[in-house]
A = this chain, B = another copy of it.
Amino acid sequence: MRNIKLTIAYDGTKFHGFQVQPQLRTVQGVLQDMIESVVGHPVSIIGSGRTDAGVHARGQVVNFKTTSRVPLEKWPIVCNVKLPNDLVVQASEEVPDDWHARFNATGKVYRYVIDRGAYPDVFTRHFSYHYPYPLRIEPMVEAARLLEGRHDFTSFCAAATPVEDKVRLLHAVELIEQDHLLVITCRGEGFLYNMVRIIVGTLLDVGRGKIAPDEIPEILKACDRTRAGLTAPAHGLTMWEVLYEG
A191 adjacent to chain B (CB < 8 Å): no
Cβ-closest chain B residue relative to A127: B123
Residue of B nearest to A8 (CB): B122
The B-contacting residues of A in range 63-115, CB under 8 angstroms, are 76, 80, 85-90
B121 touches A9 (CB 8 A): yes
Copies in the complex: 2
**What residues of B have a CB within 8 angstroms of the CB of A5 in the complex?**
none
Q: Shortest beta-carbon distance, A4 to chain B, in Å?
A: 16
The smallest beta-carbon distance between A5 and chain B, in angstroms, is 16
**Count of A interface residues, CB-CB < 8 Å:** 22
Q: CA separation between A56 and B125, bound complex, in Å?
A: 14
**Interface positions of A from 154 to 183, Cβ below 8 Å from B:** none
In whole Å, how far is A93's beta carbon from the nearest beta carbon of chain B?
14
Taking a contact as CB atoms under 8 Å apart, the answer to whether A122 and B11 are in contact is yes
Q: Is A118 an interface residue (CB 8 A)?
A: yes
CB within 8 Å of B: which A26-70 residues: 56, 58
Whether, in the assembled complex, A133 has its beta carbon less than 8 Å from a beta carbon of chain B, the answer is no
The answer to whether B76 touches A119 (Cβ under 8 A) is yes
Interface residues of A (CB under 8 A from B): 9-11, 56, 58, 76, 80, 85-90, 117-123, 125, 127
User: Can you list 6 A-B pairs with a CB-CB distance of less than 8 A?
Assistant: A9-B123, A58-B123, A76-B119, A88-B119, A88-B120, A88-B121
